[in-house]
Structure 1
Amino acid sequence: MEEEDEEVRALLGGRPEGDSAVRGAPRALPALCDPSHLAHRLVVLLLMCFLGFGSYFCYDSPAALQTQVKRDMQVNTTKFMLLYAWYSWPNVVLCFLGGFLIDRIFGIRWGTVFFSCFVCIGQVIFALGGIFNAFWLMEFGRFVFGIGGESLAVAQNTYAVSWFKGKELNLVFGLQLSMARIGSTVTMNLMGWLYTKIETSLGSAGHVTLGVTLMIGAVTCILSLICALVLAYLDRRAEKILHKEQGKTGEVIKLTDIKDFSLPLWLIFVICVCYYVAVFPFIGLGKVFFIEKFRFSPQSASAINSVVYVISAPMSPVFGLMVDKTGKNIIWVLCAVATTLVSHMMLAFTFWNPWIAMCLLGLSYSLLACALWPMVAFVVPEHQLGTAYGFMQSIQNLGLAVISILAGMILDTWGYLLLEVFFIACVSCECAMWQHLISYRALNSEVEEEKALNSEVEEEKGVYKPYQSPDIEQTA
């Protein structure tokens, strides 16, 4: 304890009490070194943003190298999509356990380092699978990578809540999301070019070229691990100087709460799964689609395949502000779903410039993310939020794992047209669920009005009983 006090006094510029010299006022720390100063917190924010950069960069590396992976590893599309499925499988469970491990076992600092190590190790194993021509090793690497990926995002958000408050927090979350999309965009446009350069250096294409390319991508994960270590040091230092507590996720997971979930919440879960399975698997398979149908070059195909992330980076904060100001979450989600349906129909049944459809998909994806996820808080009590969000992420990952495999099988058997029809069916199912949610809300509103009217009549008769409204989303 005395050693810690000495360290704090040294950081603040004071002297030990036993020093016979005349003690002046403690020196003010430089702005960059003062945890309470904005300049220091901006440095922390920069580290937070790059904390998840490596994870998002490497997540979409299979999509960026779809042609090369299938050719060099001699696998069909079904096996290729297993690289995405294996990422999602561990997160079916870890969505419930990630926050618990951070809060109760490791703490935010060691938890962040722990999950960053899983991301690094997983990407290295993934690359070694390419070098040694072992596709099973690549699958195992993606499984290990998935263990760290989603939980690292939870740790990233926990750091944000610990260091920033109020309106600052909305901006911080927006910047973190934008950096994640930048990571995905960079890998889409860089990895193919990098593969070509390594192929030229080695003299031939093949699984070794693929593995070396993926190993270079692992450098971004190492940089993120360094950010995790520096963040841990700065957070510990700030705790001593400012006497602040270590950040916690605040998640309270109780599986017994699932039986109390309302019908609107289950509909939101289904809508979430139906939407994301029509976006992420499509991006995972999109590069070859644009090459085969629209005769794009590999570079142009990578560019258009990444446009969803390019648009999402700047537009997510803008749409978030718009939804906050206007409300009407149901209407905005319906607009996003309808726009997604139009974009998939354009890609499936027309030969119009696909940039139009992909830009629409990017806008709708950004809008839905801003409008759908906050709706969970409108239909469940606060004490069930942790369980609701954990379950929502869990079934989302389950859906992505299953549909990724199914999409690969459809593509191998029937081709891209039937795959697009399948995605259209998923979005159409989502529209039906959304219409059911709107009808359910309207019916409950009528019941509420009728009960309120009956209560007024009973009050006039002197037999008034207090009315409790049903638990249903009211902000639309």
Structure 2
Amino acid sequence: MSVLGEDGSASAWYNYWVYKYLFLFFLSSVRLLSNYCLELPSGIEDTIIKVMGVTTAEYDLLFSVSAWPNIFLCLVGGVLVDKLLGRRLGLLLFVICLLLGQIVWGVGGLVDNYIIMLVGRFFIGAGNELIIVIDHSFKATWFKEDLSLAISIDIGFSRLGGTLAILLPQLIYDSLSMFHTPTSRLGVTILTAAGFMIIAMIFSVIVIQADYMREKSAKEFKSDDVAFTDKSKGIKQVFSFIFLLSVSINMLFTPVLYSFVSIAQKFFVQKYGLSIKMANIANGLLFGSAIVLTPVAGMIISKVGFHLFWVLLCNLTTALPALLMFMFSNTESYIPFIAGIFYSLSYTLGGPSFTALPALVVDKEYITTGYGILRGAYNASLSAIVYITGFIIDTKGYFMLQAFFVYLTILCIHIVLLLIVLDFISQKPRLNVPGLWIKYIINK
């Protein structure tokens, strides 16, 4: 199916915004629901500890068991999707994987078996991460010059899922008064998320059908000329120095933010004398603007382009000043709120910028592998930085922790500057180009 564009030339239906963003709604809804399942323990932390009789360390393991394996699973999964499964089958399989994991976790709650719960959480983590990898791959194919906007909307959906995971589970647990045993109430609370994943599976089928129609229309719409793909070139792109540098930005920027969020409540209480309630509000500001402002930032970045300049801007003007405020302030109670807003703005500007970089470097035949490497490296970095964060707090204190975060941010700035120079002197710049150029770069 094709229609005539404004200039009289034929244009495929999937290039029109109403179809593209309807597709994005269903794709991002899958991400929202999967993220809800992943972060669900955050909303019933105290309940899990009391009902299951586990320690805080055992509760934390519910998150760790879903994170460490993904260092390897993302890479392997990305290669499998590119070489064997394809995006459509891969999405369906990993949504089913997450659904089964949620059911197993819920059954573990019903029978009061912590080991079964851990098994379920492992499958949830694996499914969620690989859904993210495929999600990015779909967006790179469908959106091209609007990729940053699509990523920003997806980030908003993801954070909405995380917010709902904090707000809803305890309300659901408290409403299940018809179940007399706490373990039954806990198990049913967890299993409600399995119901959400059934909805996600329906949405994924819609995504699969839409992408199949797009691919079929694209083959009919294009000329009969067959383009030759140099596969060795694609492999070199996946492991090129430029690509690895772009991955390292993601390894430094986002893990520092997430690591700080994980310890921020206690930090705000101890250093600034905030109550737990006010500390939670200040901590919420670290992601507060992401849901609302990130799509706006993504729209601007998509139109303007120059992704590396945006990454540099968010580090220099928001992330670094926020960390320096935390580092050198005394006990002023307003600092967490001001610095929190700054840090939130850094994520708002940075997220859509550096997440789009692999799609600008890697050919479409290897894009899922590229994003698999990105997510695997991110998980490795996050796990390491979270561990180092706890170690520094226990041995050196919060001042040295902030110094460590400042050092990583400055290192990230240096890498961005290096990428800007390398892209500028390149014969074919790809990363730091105007927005109008991007549609000619992605999926070439």
- Which band: TM-score by shorter chain? 0.7 to 0.9
From 41, 50, 54, give the equivalent of 2:33: 54
Displacement, 1:362? 1.7
Instruction: Check the 8 A contact 1:184/1:306 in 2, yes or no.
Output: no
Q: Aligned partner of 1:49: which letter?
A: S
Q: Which residue of 2 aligns with 1:361?
A: 343
Q: Aligned partner of 1:59: which letter?
A: L
2:269 equivalent to 1:294? no
Cα–Cα, structure 1 residues 92 and 442, in superposed 2: closer, same or farther, change >3 Å?
closer
Displacement, 1:228? 1.2
Q: Which residue of 1 aligns with 2:71?
A: 92
2:315 equivalent to 1:333? yes
Q: Which residue of 1 aligns with 2:378?
A: 396
Larger Rg: 1
Displacement, 1:38? 6.0
Distance in 1, matches of 2:422 and 2:215, equals: 49
Displacement, 1:349? 5.4
Cα–Cα, structure 1 residues 58 and 108, in superposed 2: closer, same or farther, change >3 Å?
same
2:207 equivalent to 1:231? yes
Distance in 2, matches of 1:347 and 1:273, equals: 27
Distance in 1, matches of 2:194 and 2:269, equals: 27
Displacement, 1:56? 1.3
What secondary structure does 2:256 align onto?
A: coil
Instruction: Check the 8 A contact 2:149/2:298 in 1, yes or no.
Output: no
Instruction: Check the 8 A contact 2:252/2:409 in 1, yes or no.
Output: no
Distance in 2, matches of 1:443 and 1:232, equals: 40
Identical-residue share of aligned pairs (%): 21
2:118 equivalent to 1:136? no
Q: Which residue of 2 aligns with 1:172?
A: 150
Instruction: Check the 8 A contact 1:81/1:405 in 2, yes or no.
Output: no
Structure 1 gap segments, 5+ residues each = 1-7, 9-33, 449-467
Cα–Cα, structure 1 residues 286 and 169, in superposed 2: closer, same or farther, change >3 Å?
same
Cα–Cα, structure 1 residues 339 and 326, in superposed 2: closer, same or farther, change >3 Å?
farther
Q: Which residue of 2 aligns with 1:427?
A: 405
Q: Which residue of 1 aligns with 2:128?
A: 149
From 162, 170, 180, give the equivalent of 1:192: 170
Q: Which residue of 2 aligns with 1:453?
A: none
Q: Which residue of 1 aligns with 2:188?
A: 212
Cα–Cα, structure 1 residues 202 and 344, in superposed 2: closer, same or farther, change >3 Å?
farther
Q: Which residue of 2 aligns with 1:460?
A: none
Displacement, 1:48? 1.8
Instruction: Check the 8 A contact 1:333/1:372 in 2, yes or no.
Output: no
Cα–Cα, structure 1 residues 306 and 49, in superposed 2: closer, same or farther, change >3 Å?
same
Distance in 1, matches of 2:110 and 2:400, equals: 35
Instruction: Check the 8 A contact 1:89/1:143 in 2, yes or no.
Output: no
What secondary structure does 1:87 align onto?
A: coil
Q: Aligned partner of 2:44: which letter?
A: L
Moved more, 89-98 or 55-64: 89-98
Q: Aligned partner of 1:96: which letter?
A: L
Displacement, 1:186? 1.8
Distance in 2, matches of 1:374 and 1:36, equals: 19
Displacement, 1:117? 0.6
2:260 equivalent to 1:278? no
Cα–Cα, structure 1 residues 385 and 314, in superposed 2: closer, same or farther, change >3 Å?
same
Q: Which residue of 2 aligns with 1:110?
A: 89
Q: Aligned partner of 1:62: which letter?
A: P
Distance in 2, matches of 1:252 and 1:65, equals: 48
Cα–Cα, structure 1 residues 107 and 131, in superposed 2: closer, same or farther, change >3 Å?
same
Q: Deviations over 1:355-384 (max 9, x none)?
A: 444333321222222344456688x78799
Instruction: Check the 8 A contact 1:131/1:211 in 2, yes or no.
Output: yes
Q: Aligned partner of 1:337: which letter?
A: A
Distance in 2, matches of 1:432 and 1:425, equals: 10
Query: Greater relative contact order: 1 or 2 (C-alpha under 8 angstroms, separation 6 or more)?
Result: 2
Cα–Cα, structure 1 residues 269 and 165, in superposed 2: closer, same or farther, change >3 Å?
closer
Instruction: Check the 8 A contact 1:81/1:404 in 2, yes or no.
Output: no
Instruction: Check the 8 A contact 1:333/1:371 in 2, yes or no.
Output: no
Distance in 2, matches of 1:301 and 1:208, equals: 33
Cα–Cα, structure 1 residues 60 and 187, in superposed 2: closer, same or farther, change >3 Å?
same
Q: Aligned partner of 1:57: which letter?
A: Y
Instruction: Check the 8 A contact 2:259/2:386 in 1, yes or no.
Output: yes
Cα–Cα, structure 1 residues 390 and 112, in superposed 2: closer, same or farther, change >3 Å?
closer
Displacement, 1:154? 2.7
Instruction: Check the 8 A contact 2:159/2:290 in 1, yes or no.
Output: yes
Instruction: Check the 8 A contact 1:99/1:151 in 2, yes or no.
Output: yes
Instruction: Check the 8 A contact 2:234/2:362 in 1, yes or no.
Output: no
Displacement, 1:52? 1.4
What secondary structure does 1:88 align onto?
A: coil
TM-score of the superposed pair, with normalisation by structure 1: 0.68
Displacement, 1:341? 1.0
Q: Deviations over 1:89-127 (max 9, x none)?
A: 232123323333223322332211101011111222223
Moved more, 381-390 or 42-51: 381-390
Q: Which residue of 2 aligns with 1:463?
A: none
